[in-house]
Amino acid sequence: MKTADKDLRGKAVSRNALGQAFDELLEPGRFDDYCPNGLQVEGRAQVRRLSSAVTASAAAIRGAAALGADALVVHHGFFWKGEDPCLTGTRIQRIRLLIEHGINLFAYHLPLDAHPDVGNNACLARVLDWAVDERVGTNGLLWMGRLARDATAASLGAHLRRRLGRAPLAVGALERPIRRVAWCTGAAQDLLEEAIAHGADAFVSGEISERTTHLAREAGVVYFAAGHHATERHGVQALGEAVAARLGIAHRFVEDDNPV
């Protein structure tokens, strides 16, 4: 795990003002999500230092505490639908860390995926230098674009590796030329059929399922599993930077690397 220096300076704002700034930017009320968006664990009333991380892991929380953060904003928080609601095991250990250090935990899932500027899909497009043609599907979560020139699975995989820092897994019709690409970060492998219906030659997401390989092969397209963490580490940083700049508070990203 890597953290930035500890010299975070900024003015103080209220916890409520921070939450309002997040909500005004991301509009979580527009989404039927799998978890609560917004404040999940209450900490100090005043926030001077904000940290961000992909997931509210114990390592990320410790990293935020080491930075003296009063609030942590993540993409993957707590209290998912269908999850055991009992506060036991690793869940209570993480929550105990937040409470012990007085850290407010904010989490935004689908609203962060979908946002046209600081969202995960938007940030992935900027990292990869892809122009966006359209946003389709529920909540506009499937993004489409056209490459400047035809690519191969090998050349596009190498581009993903250079820009994201990890080698993707490519499956499907690996010899076909690729011009129209679709992407949705994280665990969006089951949007592959929708991407195919919208004319994608290749689809990039984070994870892969056994069934994904068969669908890509039989449909004659290429699927890239580029890493859940790797495809979603840029959005929450952009969110933290944007809101911190708006409120005049300090922000640092905590990297708790994950090969998945």
Query: Exposed/middle/buried for 82, CB within 10 Å: 0-12, 13-18, 19+?
Result: exposed
What's the whole-model pTM score? Answer: 0.94
8 Å CB contact between 168 and 157: yes
- State residue 4's pLDDT score: 42
In the chain, what are the domains?
Answer: 13-109+232-253 (3.40.1390.30), 120-231 (3.40.1390.30)
pLDDT at 5 over 60: no
Is residue 7 pLDDT above 60, yes or no? no
Check pLDDT > 90 for residue 2: no
Band of the pLDDT at 6, cuts 50, 70, 90?
A: very low
Residue 15 has pLDDT above 70, yes or no: yes
**Predicted confidence (pLDDT) per residue in 107-159, tens digit:** 999 999 999 999 999 999 999 999 999 999 999 999 999 999 999 999 999 99
pLDDT at 10: 59
> Angle at the Cα of 45 (from 39 to 47), degrees rounded to 5?
85
Tell me which residue of 205, 172, 168 sits closest to 188, measured CA to CA: 205
Q: How confident is the model at residue 73 (pLDDT cuts 50, 70, 90)?
A: very high
pLDDT band at residue 9 using 50, 70 and 90 as cut-offs: low
- Per residue in 202-258, pLDDT (tens digit) is 999 999 999 999 999 999 999 999 999 999 999 999 999 999 999 999 999 999 999
| Residue 225 CB neighbour total at 10 angstroms | 24
Q: At what angle do helices 120-128 and 153-164 cross, to 10 degrees?
A: 110
Phi-psi group of 63: left, alpha or beta (phi > 0 → left; psi -120 to 50 → alpha; rest → beta): alpha
Kind plus residue range of the DSSP H or E element containing 181: strand 178-183
Judge whether 111 and 31 are in contact, CB under 8 Å: yes
**Could you give the percent of the chain with pLDDT greater than 70?**
96
- Contact residues for 104 (Cβ-Cβ < 8 A; gap 6+): 15, 18, 39, 41, 42, 43, 44, 47, 70, 71, 72, 98
pLDDT of residue 225: 98
How many helices (H) and strands (E) in the chain? Answer: 10, 13
List, in order, residues 6 or more apart from 84 with CB less than 8 Å away.
none
Please spell the DSSP secondary structure of 192-253, one letter per residue: HHHHHHTT-SEEEES---HHHHHHHHHHT-EEEE--HHHHHTTHHHHHHHHHHHHHT-EEEE
Percent of the chain exceeding pLDDT 90 equals 96
**How many residues are present in the chain?**
260
Q: pLDDT tens, 22-41?
A: 999 999 999 999 999 999 99
Q: How far is CA 142 from CA 8, 67, 212, in A?
A: 36, 35, 16
